[in-house]
Amino acid sequence: MTDFSRSIIVTGGAGFIGSHLVRRLVKNYPGYRIINVDKLTYAGNLENLKDIESAPNYLFERLDICDHEKIAELMRRYSVTGIIHLAAESHVDRSIKDPFTFARTNVMGTLSLLQAARTVWEASPQGYAGKLFYHISTDEVYGSLGFDDTLFTEKTPYSPHSPYSASKASSDHFVRAFHDTYGMPVIVTNCSNNYGPYQFPEKLIPLFINNIRHNRPLPVYGEGLNVRDWLFVEDHAQAIDLIFHRGTPGETYNIGGFNEKRNIDLIRALIKVTDRLLGREEGASEKLITYVTDRKGHDLRYAIDARKLNRELGWKPSLEFEEGLERTVKWYLENQEWMDRITSGEYERYYDDMYANR
């Protein structure tokens, strides 16, 4: 049996950001055992990790993070010293329709993980020494900014406006409470909008690429003037890796792409690249833009100040937005079978059948 220097749980490792992080950790740290814990809900897909599924330092466990006892048992079995917590319900529109699911997964799921970690780590001979609970959150907990030069910093007061952001804000508070009350070593990071390969196609960029491909409408909320800061997912995974290994327990770090875009400008840039790669006349798909009623509680602008992370740990994004967008569109167009299986729901039925009798 291989001896590993560390065993690390990544929750939500079959999802968008999680799969990029798991792949990075498995490849870059052969001396670590990386345990992917994922319930495999609609946004979790093991096809995202086909290239490393047979790696000797990779394990997959289909578990619900709300199952405190099973998480604790898993931690004991593999002597887990680190948890990187990404598992979450993350789509604002879904949270508006079903806030209970978001409270269960994002709040109670995080609390379950914290309590399991506390139970196991406090009972170990080393206590909390060498342990870390790393919680990945979102810039949406800070609320909304106006059209000025203001940025979200690590000191910005919380002001969540949607059930999704409220659930994430609550989970952040629980993580910090376990640090202050029990002395658990924790780190919280708040990131801006991620984009890149393997993103579930209910999100703007993969949805619109697929719609352009099929000449379907491109639904734009309101007038498309809402502003978001865009972060390439591989840059985010690199930042998480760096913070996990060199960040200071008890601290918060903001991770942003320094790429503020109005939604309508992003969509036009996306159309331009996608049309070109499909061999169409540039801008031909702009006719697909369809303005729809604005989302309830739609925050005007998010913008992350990531200077603390740059100053203390030397991180900055590796890609300019134009390069990241080009790579992203190419990936989706070259992986149409993946997209078709996702949009058909075929992968969900496959996993349900596979794990039905386990």
| 140 catalytically annotated | yes
pTM for this predicted structure = 0.94
In the three-class reduction of DSSP (H, G, I as helix; E, B as strand; rest coil), residue 163 is classed as helix
Q: Alpha carbon of 143 to those of 4, 105, 169, 191, 205: distances in Å?
A: 42, 21, 10, 13, 22
In the three-class reduction of DSSP (H, G, I as helix; E, B as strand; rest coil), residue 243 is classed as helix
- State residue 355's pLDDT score: 47
Choose, from 38, 89, 139, 229, the residue flagged as catalytic. 139
294: how many CB neighbours lie within 10 A of its CB? Answer: 14
Asked whether the predicted pLDDT for residue 354 surpasses 50, the reply is no
What band does 2 get if pLDDT is binned at 50, 70 and 90? low
What amino acid is encoded at 129 in this protein? A
- State residue 123's pLDDT score: 97
What band does 296 get if pLDDT is binned at 50, 70 and 90? confident
What band does 351 get if pLDDT is binned at 50, 70 and 90? very low
Asked whether the predicted pLDDT for residue 202 surpasses 90, the reply is no
Question: Mean of the pLDDT values across residues 202-226?
Answer: 94
Choose, from 38, 64, 89, 140, the residue flagged as catalytic. 140
Asked whether the predicted pLDDT for residue 350 surpasses 90, the reply is no
Question: Mean of the pLDDT values across residues 141-170?
Answer: 94
47: how many CB neighbours lie within 10 A of its CB? Answer: 17
Helices (H), the chain: 16-28, 68-78, 92-97, 99-102, 109-123, 163-182, 204-213, 233-246, 263-277, 307-313, 321-334, 336-344, 346-355
In the three-class reduction of DSSP (H, G, I as helix; E, B as strand; rest coil), residue 336 is classed as helix
| 139 catalytically annotated | yes
Choose, from 58, 128, 134, 164, the residue flagged as catalytic. 164
| 32 catalytically annotated | no
Q: CB–CB of 137/191 below 8 Å? A: yes
Q: CB–CB of 14/45 below 8 Å? A: yes
Burial of 99 (0-12, 13-18, 19+ CB in 10 A): middle
Question: Mean of the pLDDT values across residues 226-248?
Answer: 97
Closest CA to 46 of 348, 358, 340: 348
